[in-house]
């Protein structure tokens, strides 16, 4: 096994965890990244290990929301008109995934993947001496209106059915946990099993450093093409400057994975849900745990030295420039939740979630007998599921038993 060479394309949190797990299994591993580790979506996300997020993004009733997505540029879900023709096939699959029976099947498949996902981080954090980056204080779902709180019953019922621990709380009970919360919220839920990290970028970099200090190689190059041997197996990755041979290849290039997957012989329905953050260095309030507002899609997370307001979804592809007004809107929504929050000074960021229409990632071989493994499409859960994904990929690459049956996450499921 020590002779086997694996290349992992993409040093986001999914690629880094895959590289570490392959290394732990005895592979010689090269991590190929065109930028710096953690420069993609893994840089600025909400940093929540959202182990309770078993329900898909597309849920029953989503069809009624699509017109609003087109008409409200500052809404929590937005589609840019110019991108609609390219998005249409993906959007149709997204709508189909929201049918009740489908949503329930997907919930079961997500729950299997999420079960124990935080535990899978522990050996990686320990080896990186980075256990202090993990904070286990749960998280809060805070509702702005009584009407939406009442309508949330179906989603919480699905969560409970799949073993998620939930406590319904009044406004006062939530304010006992987080005194900075507004008196005007309608109440919500506390999820004790959820964790967060003090900074997703710092975590990715620390894990990448651990990979390097264990003898891994980091190549700052862009994967352009794949070379195949006479049997049709991928034997090398071609970059702008060289050709690097490999026995196994992992494509973990986040939202940019689609063209590489096609070169490995598979067409995947991958698009991007662009998201924003507004990061406040001197927030003037204290916060112990992340708070999420389902109505606005806002997540507020205490990082080691700041508070991050993150979230919302914008369908606009990989090329269109950011719409920074969406980050400003996050600031005003933050004040709605925390009246004392000082949002005068903050920094804005946009990132590309790699998203599949059914909210399930792609984890597994490109085609049944391929030596190329796909590890992308984690949408809103890439940080949460990174260690679990890396473990599954390394188990498949070793042809040993896999901790979660990978069938629901196969590349050719549509
Ligand atoms: C606003 C926002 C909030 C979020 N909050 C959360 C959260 O709280 N919890 C959670 O679990 N998830 C969250 N997510 C989702 C999460 O950030 C992503 O799912 C995750 O970061 C994806 O990781 P990745 O490694 O697949 O992709 P990325 O981090 O995007 O990494 C892909 C890497 O591949 C590199 N690359 C691409 N093409 C090539 C190539 N040809 N050659 C070499 N390198 C290449 C890129 O440079 C990049 O570094 C959030 C996302 C956003 C946008």
The model's pLDDT over 53-87, given as tens digits with 9 standing for 90+, comes to 999 999 998 888 778 777 888 888 899 989 999 99
User: Which of 256, 263, 300, 331, when mutated, tests ligand 1's pocket best, judged by the most ligand atoms within 8 Å of its CB?
Assistant: 256
Q: What confidence tens digit (pLDDT) does each residue in 99-109 have?
A: 999 999 999 99
Q: Quick check: 218 and 201 in contact, CB under 8 A? A: no
CATH number of the domain where residue 296 is located: 3.30.9.10
Q: Distance (Å, rounded) from C-alpha 218 to C-alpha 141?
A: 39
Q: Quick check: 155 and 61 in contact, CB under 8 A? A: no
Distance 351 CA to ligand 1 centre (A): 8
Say yes or no: CB of residue 273 within 6 Å of ligand 1: no
Mean of the pLDDT values across residues 123-136? Answer: 98
Ligand 1 atom closest to residue 379's alpha carbon, by position in its atom list: 19
Phi–psi pair at 382, nearest 5 degrees: -65, -40
Say yes or no: CB of residue 238 within 6 Å of ligand 1: no
Q: What confidence tens digit (pLDDT) does each residue in 282-294 have?
A: 899 999 999 999 9
Q: Is residue 156 part of a domain?
A: yes
Say yes or no: CB of residue 42 within 6 Å of ligand 1: yes
Give the pLDDT score at 323. Answer: 95
Q: Is residue 185 part of a domain?
A: yes
Q: Is residue 97 part of a domain?
A: no
| DSSP state letter for 361 | P
Handedness of CA 233, 238, 13, 270 (dihedral sign): negative
DSSP bridge partners of 297: none
Q: Is residue 328 part of a domain?
A: yes
Q: What confidence tens digit (pLDDT) does each residue in 306-341 have?
A: 999 999 999 999 999 999 999 999 999 999 999 999
Give the chain's domain count.
Answer: 1
**In the numeric block, which tokens belong to residue 139?**
């998280």
Mean of the pLDDT values across residues 145-169? Answer: 95
Q: Is residue 364 part of a domain?
A: no
Nearest to 22 by CA among 398, 399, 405: 398
**In the numeric block, which tokens belong to residue 333?**
């929504």
Nearest to 25 by CA among 404, 396, 388, 384: 396
Give the pLDDT score at 2. Answer: 53
Say yes or no: CB of residue 256 within 6 Å of ligand 1: yes
Give the pLDDT score at 73. Answer: 81
Q: Is residue 75 part of a domain?
A: yes
Say yes or no: CB of residue 39 within 6 Å of ligand 1: yes
Decide which of 217 and 77 is more confident: 217
Q: Is residue 346 part of a domain?
A: yes
Say yes or no: CB of residue 29 within 6 Å of ligand 1: no
Give the pLDDT score at 390. Answer: 98
Burial class (CB in 10 A: 0-12, 13-18, 19+), 5: middle
Give the pLDDT score at 115. Answer: 97
Can you give the residue range of the structural domain that contains 337?
54-88+138-193+270-355
Q: What is the mean pLDDT of the chain?
A: 96
Q: Is residue 66 part of a domain?
A: yes
């Amino acid at each position: 096994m020590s002779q086997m060479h694996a290349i992992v394309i993409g040093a986001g949190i999914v690629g880094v965890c895959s590289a570490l797990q392959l290394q732990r299994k005895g592979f010689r591993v090269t991590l190929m990244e065109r930028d710096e580790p953690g420069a993609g979506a893994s840089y600025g996300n909400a940093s929540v290990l959202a182990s309770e997020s078993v329900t898909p993004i597309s849920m029953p009733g989503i069809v009624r929301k699509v017109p609003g997505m087109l008409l409200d540029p500052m809404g929590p879900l937005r589609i840019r008109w110019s991108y609609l023709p390219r998005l249409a096939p993906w959007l149709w699959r997204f709508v189909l995934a929201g049918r009740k029976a489908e949503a329930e099947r997907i919930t079961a498949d997500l729950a299997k993947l999420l079960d124990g996902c935080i535990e899978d981080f522990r050996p990686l954090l320990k080896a990186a001496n980075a256990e202090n980056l993990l904070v286990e204080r749960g998280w809060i779902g805070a509702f702005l209106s009584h009407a939406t709180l009442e309508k949330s019953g179906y989603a919480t019922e699905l969560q409970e059915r799949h073993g998620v621990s939930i406590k319904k709380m009044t406004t006062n009970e939530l304010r006992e946990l987080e005194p900075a919360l507004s008196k005007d919220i309608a109440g919500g839920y506390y999820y004790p099993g959820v964790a967060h990290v003090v900074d997703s970028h710092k975590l990715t970099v620390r894990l990448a450093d651990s990979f390097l200090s264990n003898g891994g190689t980091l190549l700052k190059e862009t994967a352009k093409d794949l070379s195949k041997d006479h049997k049709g197996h991928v034997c090398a990755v071609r970059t702008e400057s060289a050709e690097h041979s490999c026995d196994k290849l992992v494509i973990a290039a986040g939202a940019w994975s689609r063209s590489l997957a096609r070169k490995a012989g598979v067409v995947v329905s991958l698009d991007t849900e662009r998201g924003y953050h507004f990061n406040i260095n001197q927030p003037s309030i204290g916060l112990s745990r992340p708070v999420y507002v389902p109505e606005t899609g806002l997540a507020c997370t205490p990082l080691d030295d700041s508070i991050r307001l993150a979230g919302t979804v914008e369908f606009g592809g990989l090329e269109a420039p950011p719409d920074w007004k969406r980050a400003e809107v996050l600031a005003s929504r933050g004040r709605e939740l925390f009246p004392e929050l000082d949002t005068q000074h903050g920094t804005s960021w946009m990132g590309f979630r790699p998203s599949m229409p059914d909210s399930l990632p792609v984890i597994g071989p490109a085609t049944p007998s391929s030596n190329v493994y796909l590890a992308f499409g984690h949408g809103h859960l890439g940080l949460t599921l990174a260690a679990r994904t890396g473990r599954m990929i390394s188990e498949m690459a070793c042809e040993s038993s896999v901790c979660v049956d990978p069938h629901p996450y196969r590349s050719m499921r549509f």
